[in-house]
Copies of this chain bind each other. A is one copy, B any other.
Amino acid sequence: MAVSQTGRSGCPINLTLEQLGDRWSLIVIRDVMFGNRRSYGELLAQSEEGIASNILADRLKRLTASGLLSRRPDPKHRQKGIYSLTEASIQLVPLLAHMGAWGRRHTRPSKELSVRAELLEKGGAPLWNAFMDELRHLHLGASRPARSVFGELQAAYEKALAHRAR
């Protein structure tokens, strides 16, 4: 519990990398967080990145085991699970916001997919906190906050999509 399994150091940056430093873990968290995809099927079918089904199953298992996601059975479909963010993964919001901001500056992102990152960057810490409060409502059962950052991000994204489609 206290010691890493990989024989690497106790540096907090390293330990974070050991949990999240692969190509898919943060993609899954991103889709749950910003896309509100809550089940295996939604995550698989609507994936922008085309994640393979076995990798998705493996990551859901690992992220659940390490406390970044929680899983509860779907009352409507006994076989199905509903995945939720935990407080730990909700606190990744600033990290993902910074990743988006860096990617916007130093890679060649598509315009539509940059809109959310841009809003998050411009909104800064106050917006992140409002978003985190909303995620606590959506995933942890906290009370609904006044502001829906999720809706704002989604609306901006859809507006960009429509603008592109014209």
Contact = CB atoms under 8 A, between A and B. Distances in A.
Interface residues of A, number: 48
How would you classify the secondary structure of chain A's contact residues: helix, strand, loop or mixed?
Answer: helix
Interface stretch (A12-20, A73-81, A133-141): A12-20
Contacts of A49: 8-9, 11, 14
Given A2-B108, A10-B113, A14-B103, 8 more contacts: A11-B49, A12-B100, A13-B103, A16-B103, A67-B106, A91-B102, A95-B95, A95-B99
Interface of A: 1-3, 7-19, 21-23, 26-27, 30, 48-50, 67, 88, 91-92, 94-96, 98-110, 113-114, 117
